[in-house]
């Protein structure tokens, strides 16, 4: 199905095979969902495919509930300073979440413990994956960075309803176009919408305070050893903008919080930083 503009819907059998084999050893894509209690729900992800085994057996899974009073201050953590270049991108809806992928350009990077992680893509979860002191937020943005040796570091930004966020104005028409695209996600279809040049300056604002811990991807295959950095300042997004992000998806796409299993959450709070939570 092709929309009047640049949306492209296509069958992604080959890429589905690259992600995982079906649980019975067949060649079809492995479908997973977010409905609790269903056969494909989060509690059953680890049973759907050998590729997803760590979703059920891993001990460093994400997301988690961050209890602020239990976070350990560490002033020696990285500042996460970064500069993101304006880049051409493509919005991708695979029926699980919406991603913004960049068209081959080097967008920017962060350095963590001396290792460089290049900005790879961003995507959204609504409601938020992470909770803070048990509170779940309307939206969470993940800025995904990857190192040359395959390491992953993610910056998580939480949103509450309020004033409009300037970043989302430039995606308004493309998200509306994507919502009008009727795909058969169960058959492996995706919706793609080219964005043109996307300005990313608002996503590189001074990071300030954040919580760090070692976790995993929040979707299958739930790969572990991901360095998570959840910002301590909650941003605002308008109700209209949130609805635009949610409209192309069949429902909520947040994984339940996972056991901490003895992991430590560290807290970085440089001078003159703003934090939205009571510590």
Task: Give pLDDT tens digits for 39-68.
Answer: 999 999 999 999 999 999 999 999 999 999
Candidate from 1-15, 179-193, 241-255 with smallest mean pLDDT:
1-15
> Longest C-alpha distance within the chain, in Å?
56
CA 190 – CA 10 distance, rounded (Å): 6
Q: Tell me the pairing of strands 72-73 and 266-268.
A: parallel
Angle between helices 239-246 and 172-180 (to 10 degrees): 40
Give the predicted TM-score (pTM) of the model: 0.88
Average pLDDT over residues 106-118: 94
* pLDDT above 70 (res 236): yes
Look up tokens 């104005």; give the residue.
169
Contacts of 151 (CB under 8 A, 6+ apart): 115, 117, 225, 227
pLDDT(12) > 50: no
In this structure, the dihedral spanned by the alpha carbons of residues 254, 174, 91 and 154, taken in order and rounded to 10 degrees, is -50
Structure tokens, 60 = 């460093």
Percent of the chain with pLDDT over 70: 89
186 vs 25: which has the higher pLDDT: 186
Choosing from 96, 123, 142, 192, the catalytic residue is 96
Instruction: Flag whether pLDDT at 134 surpasses 80.
Output: yes
> With left for phi above 0 and alpha for psi between -120 and 50, is residue 248 left, alpha or beta?
alpha
Question: Could you tell me the fold of the domain covering 60-268?
Answer: Carbonic Anhydrase II (3.10.200)
The least confident of 75-84, 181-190, 224-233 is 181-190
pLDDT grade for 273, boundaries at 50, 70 and 90: confident
Residue 46 makes CB contacts below 8 A (sequence gap 6+) with 52, 53, 54, 55, 56, 57, 222
pLDDT at 29 (0 to 100) = 57
> How far apart are the C-alpha atoms of 233 and 235, rounded to whole Å?
6
Catalytic residue flag (residue 123)? no
Q: What confidence tens digit (pLDDT) does each residue in 154-207 have?
A: 999 999 999 999 999 999 999 999 999 877 776 678 899 999 999 999 998 777
Mean pLDDT of the chain: 87
């Amino acid at each position: 199905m092709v929309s009047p503009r640049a949306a492209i819907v296509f069958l992604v059998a080959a890429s589905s095979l690259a992600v995982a084999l079906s649980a019975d050893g067949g060649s079809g894509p492995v479908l997973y969902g977010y409905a609790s209690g269903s056969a494909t729900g989060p509690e059953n992800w680890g049973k759907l495919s050998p590729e997803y085994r760590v979703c059920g057996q891993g001990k460093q899974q994400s997301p988690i509930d961050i209890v602020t009073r239990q976070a350990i201050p560490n002033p020696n953590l990285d500042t996460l300073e970064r500069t993101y270049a304006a880049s051409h991108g493509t919005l991708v809806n695979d029926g699980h979440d919406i991603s913004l992928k960049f068209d081959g350009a080097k967008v920017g990077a962060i350095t963590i413990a001396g290792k460089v992680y290049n900005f790879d893509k961003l995507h959204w979860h609504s409601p938020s994956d992470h909770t803070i002191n048990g509170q779940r937020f309307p939206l969470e943005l993940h800025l995904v960075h990857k190192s040359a040796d395959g390491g992953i570091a993610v910056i998580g930004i939480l949103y509450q309803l309020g004033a409009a966020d300037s970043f989302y104005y430039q995606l308004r028409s493309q998200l509306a176009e994507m919502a009008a695209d009727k795909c058969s996600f169960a058959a492996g279809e995706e919706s793609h919408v080219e964005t043109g040049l996307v300005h990313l300056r608002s996503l590189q604002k001074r990071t300030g305070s954040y919580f760090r811990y070692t976790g995993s991807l929040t979707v299958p295959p739930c790969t572990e050893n991901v360095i998570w950095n959840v910002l301590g300042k909650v941003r605002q997004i308008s109700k209209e903008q949130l609805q635009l992000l949610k409209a192309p998806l069949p429902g909520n796409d947040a994984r339940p919080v996972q056991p901490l299993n003895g992991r430590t959450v560290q807290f970085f709070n440089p001078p003159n930083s703003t934090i939205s939570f009571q510590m």
